[in-house]
């Protein structure tokens, strides 16, 4: 039976630290915005105390979590742990998240993580979370899996790249969410934010340093983007962190009544006019 708490009970601390994977859920504030769920691994998560946790976020091809946490009035985040071996259990940590870039992360926060994670070339931010609700549930429907090892492909990939290359990659892939909300790619040390513009990336909003010809927004791509992201591209990359949902106008019921009446009258008229 599920239970709820306003902190992480001590009996769950070992369970959290033993998990090899955790899931992160965030969402755009707007009704038409997307919800994102990301799996995370490596030795990147720390439970600092019963109401605070954090994890190191490595560079990837998207940056939805950071965009949602940076959105004004947002910050909502949920961390979920599942037991894939031993006794079944699901643990969710609900809280408010804050993004710290490598250049402004407090040393006191960095000290909680293994040094190899802090030194990782792909280290792009720390997500710090103030926990206000914790819930546990049975997890009886979660299948059993045997842990083999962490994949090293991502860390090895960025290990071979220069700092400049990594920053340019973040500008391209991590400047905007799929809804067009600003994200961490706009905050690189060697590239000024006002020199970055958005462009169409076949269903994604990508970033680049200004100077090249703006990309045309194709109609098929437009259909796959939210109105906020399309508006951002159409306006030449102007940064917009939010957009207004479309106005749904209330239609009069009269046209529907007329259609129904006509549909009823025509068969009766034909019956009276046409010979049997």
Residue 211 and residue 204: Cα distance in Å, rounded?
20
Residue 218 and residue 201: Cα distance in Å, rounded?
10
**Tens-binned pLDDT, residue by residue, of the chain (276 aa):** 689 999 999 999 999 999 999 999 999 999 889 999 999 999 999 999 999 999 999 999 999 999 999 999 999 999 999 999 999 999 999 999 999 999 999 999 999 999 999 999 999 999 999 999 999 999 999 999 999 999 999 999 999 999 999 999 999 999 999 999 999 999 999 999 999 999 988 889 999 998 756 555 555 555 556 666 656 665 544 434 333 333 333 334 444 445 455 556 665 655 566 665
Burial track 191-228 (b if 16+ CB lie within 10 A, e otherwise):
beeeebbbbbbeebbbbbeeeeeebebeeebeeebbbb
The whole-model pTM stands at: 0.80
Cα 234-239-240 angle, rounded to 5 deg: 85
Reduced to 3 states (helix: H, G, I; strand: E, B; else coil), residue 37 is strand
Which residue spans within 59-142 are E strands per DSSP?
76-82, 90-100, 123-137
């Amino acid at each position: 039976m599920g239970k709820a708490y306003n902190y992480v009970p001590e009996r769950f601390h070992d369970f959290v630290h033993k998990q090899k994977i955790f899931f992160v859920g965030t969402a755009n504030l707007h009704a038409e915005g997307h919800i994102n769920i990301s799996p995370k691994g490596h030795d990147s998560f720390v439970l600092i105390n019963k109401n605070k946790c954090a994890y190191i976020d490595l560079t990837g091809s998207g940056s939805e979590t950071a965009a949602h946490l940076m959105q004004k009035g947002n910050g909502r985040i949920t961390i979920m742990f599942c037991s894939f071996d031993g006794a079944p259990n699901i643990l969710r940590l609900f809280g408010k998240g804050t993004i710290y870039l490598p250049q402004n992360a407090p040393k006191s926060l960095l000290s909680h993580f293994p040094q190899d994670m802090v030194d990782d070339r792909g280290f792009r931010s720390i997500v710090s979370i103030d926990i206000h609700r914790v819930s546990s549930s049975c997890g009886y429907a979660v299948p059993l899996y045997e842990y083999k090892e962490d994949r090293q492909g991502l860390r090895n990939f960025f290990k071979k790249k220069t700092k400049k290359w990594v920053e340019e990659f973040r500008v391209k892939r991590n400047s905007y969410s799929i809804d067009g909300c600003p994200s961490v790619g706009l905050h690189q040390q060697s590239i000024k934010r006002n020199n970055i513009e958005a462009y169409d990336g076949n269903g994604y909003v990508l970033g680049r340093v200004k100077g090249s010809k703006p990309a045309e927004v194709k109609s098929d791509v437009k259909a796959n983007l939210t109105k906020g992201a399309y508006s951002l591209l159409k306006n030449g990359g102007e940064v917009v962190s939010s957009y207004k949902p479309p106005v749904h106008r209330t239609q009069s019921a009269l046209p529907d009544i007329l259609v129904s009446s006509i549909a009823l009258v025509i068969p009766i008229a034909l019956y009276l006019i046409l010979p049997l």
